[in-house]
Amino acid sequence: MSVTEFEYGKLSDGTIVKGFTIKNKNGLSATVIERGAALVSLMAPDKDGNFADVVLGLKDAAAYENNNYCLGATVGRNANRIAGACFDIDGIHYELVKNNGENNLHTHPEYGYHRRNWEGKAEEGSDSVIFFLEDDGKLTGMPGIFNITVTYRLTDEDELLIAYHGVGDTKTIANCTNHSYFNLAGHDAGSVYDHEIRINASRFSADKEGAIPTGEWTPVEGTPMDLRKSTRIGEHIDDDYEQLILTKGYDHNYCIDDADHTVREIAQVTEPVSGRVMTVLTDLPGVQFYTANWLEEERGKDGVVYHPRDAFCLETQYFPNSINQEGFERPVVDAGAEYKTSTIYKFSVLK
Residue at 99: amino acid letter: N
- Taking the domain 2-349, which CATH number applies? 2.70.98.10
Candidates 108, 179, 187, 195; catalytic one: 179
| pLDDT for 351 | 85
> Where are the chain's structural domains?
2-349
Candidates 34, 65, 196, 315; catalytic one: 315
**For this structure, is 34 an active site residue?**
no
Per-residue confidence in pLDDT tens, the chain, 351 aa: 789 999 999 999 999 999 999 999 999 999 999 999 999 999 999 999 999 999 999 999 999 999 999 999 999 999 999 999 999 999 999 999 999 999 999 999 999 999 999 999 997 778 899 999 999 999 999 999 999 999 999 999 999 999 999 999 999 999 999 999 999 999 999 999 999 999 999 999 999 999 999 999 999 999 999 999 999 999 999 999 999 999 999 999 999 999 999 999 999 999 999 999 999 999 999 999 999 999 999 999 999 999 999 999 999 999 999 999 999 999 999 999 999 999 999 999 998
R_g (Cα) of the chain, nearest Å: 19
| pLDDT for 125 | 73
**For this structure, is 221 an active site residue?**
no
pTM beyond 0.75:
yes
